Amino acid sequence: MSSYEARTNSDGSVSHRIRFRYQGKNKAVPFVTVEQAQSWQTILDAVGADRALALLEQPTAAAIPRTVSQQVEHHIEHLTGITDGTRAKYRRIAKARLDPVFGKVLLGDITRAHVSAWMNAQTGAPKTIRNAHSILSAALTAAVRDDLIPSNPAKGVKTPKRTADAGEHVYLTHADVAVLVRLIPEHWRLFVLFLVGTGVRFSEATALTIDALDLDTGSARINQSWKETSGGPQQLGAPKTAKSRRTIGLPPELVAMLRIHCAGRKRTEWVFTNKRDANQIRNAGFHKTVWQPALVPFEAATGKRPRVHDLRHTYASWAIRANIPLMVIQRQLGHESIQTTSDTYGHLVRSDIDALAAMIGSSLPAMIEG
């Protein structure tokens, strides 16, 4: 293995060296900056001394080559318009899914075969795999833009599609929700009913203020959302996408309960608060003290173990079962495009299929008699 050292020269300047064994002898390669030294050290450990030394002798060696993982990290570091929490999430995905394979592949060497072999070896939830591919492909697109590689070998590689039995969603029936609500402590019941009765995201519901409600028209304006940060407190920001800034409809039953819940309170207060200090509901705290304890008896009673986000999926399934058009569901959920709604819930749509089956079925008796 190689090692890094910094040495002070006679003139007071500092040289940065990478030491390693080569052909049975100790060897040291100097660099001007620590960044260059450490970048080349990564290459050395990934591809071996012969290849790494050869790269230094190339005419373009002033720019130390990168591994694919280094390119992914460079891309994540320089992304704009995302929160620290999102950046940290991308890094976690890269570390778990990409680094074990692409940490030893030079950016200039990556081929479609590398990406295809990596994709075929992936296991787990299709959404997680698609997210990892997305990060890889975006990083390689950036490399093409910067003239580091001629094309993006991840572009067009097929990713796993969501299927009806992918196990990613748990859909609850009305009876299931009735059981769940009885198991939720009273302070939190309206919050849970609001999630399943509107389909809004947890981060949107917890950022909802009383002045965003219009109980006379039975609607609420979703114009902000909590954002995760890297190791720090959550921050308020815009909803997930442009289409997520929207006005949603509220069921009359929820309106009646919200009137009582919000009566006499300041319009700037959160609609839903925690029990301890009447402040913001935290995701981790809600899961630990409310959701997880309720899941044990709920699973015993129903055989289902939903996530909080499955309340949003449940709302969509109820709307589809009521034959509400996907475009209306898209607006309520705040999906960026109708394609997202169709890809996520299209397998639940039965009306057109049932109508087609009924039409064909009505002709079968005559065919049989003939």
Q: What is the pLDDT of residues 113-165, one digit of tens each?
A: 999 999 999 998 888 899 999 999 999 999 999 888 899 999 999 998 755 44
DSSP structural state of residue 12: S
Task: Tell me what the pLDDT averaged over the chain comes to.
Answer: 86
Mention every residue, 6+ apart, whose C-beta is less than 8 A from residue 157. 112, 115, 116, 119, 133, 137
Is it the case that residue 340 has pLDDT exceeding 60? yes
Mean pLDDT for the stretch of residues 277-292: 92
Nearest Cα neighbor of 308 from 295, 297, 318 is 295
Question: Which class for 264: exposed (0-12), middle (13-18), buried (19 or more C-beta within 10 A)?
Answer: exposed
Q: What is the average per-residue pLDDT within 14-26?
A: 87
Please state, as a whole number, how many other Cβ atoms lie within 10 Å of the Cβ of residue 3: 10
- The span from the CA of 6 to the CA of 17, in Å, is 6
Residue range 228-232: mean pLDDT, rounded? 63
Phi then psi for residue 153, to 5 deg, are -70, -10
Name which of 103, 312, 364, 17 is nearest 192 in CA terms.
312
**pTM greater than 0.85:** no
Does 110 score more than 80 pLDDT?
yes
Pairwise pLDDT comparison (370 vs 345), residue with the higher score: 345
